[in-house]
Amino acid sequence: MPLRLDASAPGFEKEFSAFLGRNRDTDENVDRVVAGIVADVRARGDAAVVDYTAKFDWAGITAANMRISDAERSAVAAQATAAQREALTFAAKRIEAFHRALMPKDVDFTDATGTRLGARYRPVDAAGVYVPGGTAAYPSSVLMNIVPAKVAGVGRIVMVVPTPGGTLNPLVMLAAEIAGADEVWRIGGAQAVAALAYGTQSIRPVDKITGPGNAYVAAAKRRVFGQVGIDLIAGPSEILVVADRHNDPQWIAADLLSQAEHDPSSQSVLIADDAAFADAVVRAVEAELKTLDRAEIASASWRDNGAVILVPDLAAAPPIVDAIAAEHVELAMEVAEAEVLSQKIRHAGAIFLGRHTPEAIGDYVAGTNHVLPTSRAARFSGGLGVADFLKRTSLVSCTPQSLAALGPSAVALADAEGLGAHGRSVSLRLQSR
């Protein structure tokens, strides 16, 4: 059974703090294994990638067949049904439209001193996209990573995806085709992350790596950060549903399990203001579990990491929501009420407002991105977007007159910091007037 907490009960703060302190992320053993893999790929390149891929995914891998040719990709993608192609195309167009709206604009102006100031946004040259491919196939993740990179203007997009047993998933290949991946490689795990970061004899390195993965992928991204940029360290999936008693318990149960089925380490939390309704949801979860193909995974997640938190009134929910800082937050109530409550929430990867907005709609076709911060990282970061594939370069241009206005203060600050050459580079120009 999931953890039950009552915000009105004595001892709630202590129990809630313990709940927040649970660690569902990478352990030290994983990090040690990943450190060895990354170092080996740096040293041996293709040979190391082939060895680890043969060990973990497919014995038939060679340096010659690591890359999936465009012809092979298209042939496999053609196996998808017309309905699947239509759905992926529909989703891609919505994702593109939303992310185009997020594109920042260059800034260029002259201030009161006559100094020109500005900022230009330019894409990274090459991005590596990691697509999970172990326990399930995720064509949606292909779109969520590649489409924003394309919108940002990235010139080279390299996709890596594990192919257990050597089998290519038609929907993943189709999504790569629709989104516009420039290269697709049949490798995954820490070895793929290392190959993207450092390059091998066959794979040219990239500048940024994005995309979710398992604990080994997360640990590898953490280890190569600095050599390349990364989007975020994606931990186990999370959903927090704030629901009033007017909801259908079966709907809420299905929402909670939509993330629980990802992984035994995933977390599903219900915040409710009615004990009878909360009990009904718990019963509905148990009934729904009997129908799921991934029931074993979802059951473990709900049993070990799930929680039901009772509050005296939903107006008391925002501080609890902010403390959890979940990846996905559903506000299952009337839309007007959800909007008011959402304005009081500061920490969430994504917020879904109203009874008819299940989190799963955001995973696929809403248009927003489903690569989101987990493990309370929503306190300091947001989800993947075009900004992750852009760099901001500042511009400064002084005239003799504006330098005269700015220079004395710059010299004074340089002298105060004991950096004489800094001050002299300005004062020499001031003296020449």
The answer on pLDDT for 293 being more than 70 is yes
How much is the pLDDT for 22?
86
Average pLDDT for 219-224: 96
Task: Work out whether strand 67-68 and strand 183-185 pair parallel, antiparallel, or are unpaired.
Answer: antiparallel
Q: Homologous superfamily of 3-25+235-366 in CATH?
A: Nitrogenase molybdenum iron protein domain (3.40.50.1980)
* Dihedral pair phi/psi, residue 393, rounded to 5°: -110, 125
How much is the pLDDT for 133?
84
How much is the pLDDT for 316?
97
How much is the pLDDT for 234?
84
pLDDT single digits (tens) 94-130? 999 999 999 999 999 999 999 999 999 999 999 999 9
Q: Are the C-beta atoms of 163 and 133 separated by less than 8 Å?
A: yes
Average pLDDT for 262-267: 93
The answer on pLDDT for 60 being more than 60 is yes
How much is the pLDDT for 23?
79
Domain with CATH 3.40.50.1980 in the chain: 3-25+235-366, 28-230
The answer on pLDDT for 336 being more than 60 is yes
The answer on pLDDT for 134 being more than 90 is no
| DSSP per-residue string spanning 165-179 | GGPPPHHHHHHHHHH
Extract the tokens encoding 141.
Answer: 């993740």
Which of 13-22, 359-368, 395-404 is predicted with the least confidence, judged by mean pLDDT? 13-22
Q: Which residues belong to the active site?
A: 327-328
Q: What separation in angstroms does the CA of 131 have from each of 94, 198, 414?
A: 20, 18, 49
Average pLDDT for 235-250: 96
Residue 358: how many other CB atoms lie within 10 Å: 20
Q: Which residues of 238-247 are buried (b: 16+ CB within 10 A; e: fewer)?
A: bbbbbbbeeb
Which of 45-54, 127-136, 340-349 is predicted with the least confidence, judged by mean pLDDT? 127-136
Extract the tokens encoding 240.
Answer: 């927090």
How much is the pLDDT for 135?
62
d(CA 352, CA 188): 32
How much is the pLDDT for 251?
98
Which of 26-40, 164-178, 247-261 is predicted with the least confidence, judged by mean pLDDT? 26-40
How much is the pLDDT for 24?
74
d(CA 433, CA 429): 7
Average pLDDT for 285-312: 96
Extract the tokens encoding 3.
Answer: 């953890």
The answer on pLDDT for 433 being more than 80 is no
- Domain 28-230's class? alpha beta
How much is the pLDDT for 93?
98
Which segments within 111-244 are labelled E, that is strand? 116-123, 126-130, 156-160, 183-185, 208-210, 229-230, 238-243
Confidence of residue 25 (pLDDT cuts 50, 70, 90): low
Confidence of residue 432 (pLDDT cuts 50, 70, 90): confident
pLDDT single digits (tens) 380-426? 999 999 999 999 999 999 999 999 999 999 999 999 999 999 999 99
Average pLDDT for 13-31: 85
Residue 211, helix vs strand vs coil: coil
The answer on pLDDT for 26 being more than 60 is no
How much is the pLDDT for 119?
98
How much is the pLDDT for 28?
74
Mean pLDDT of the chain: 96
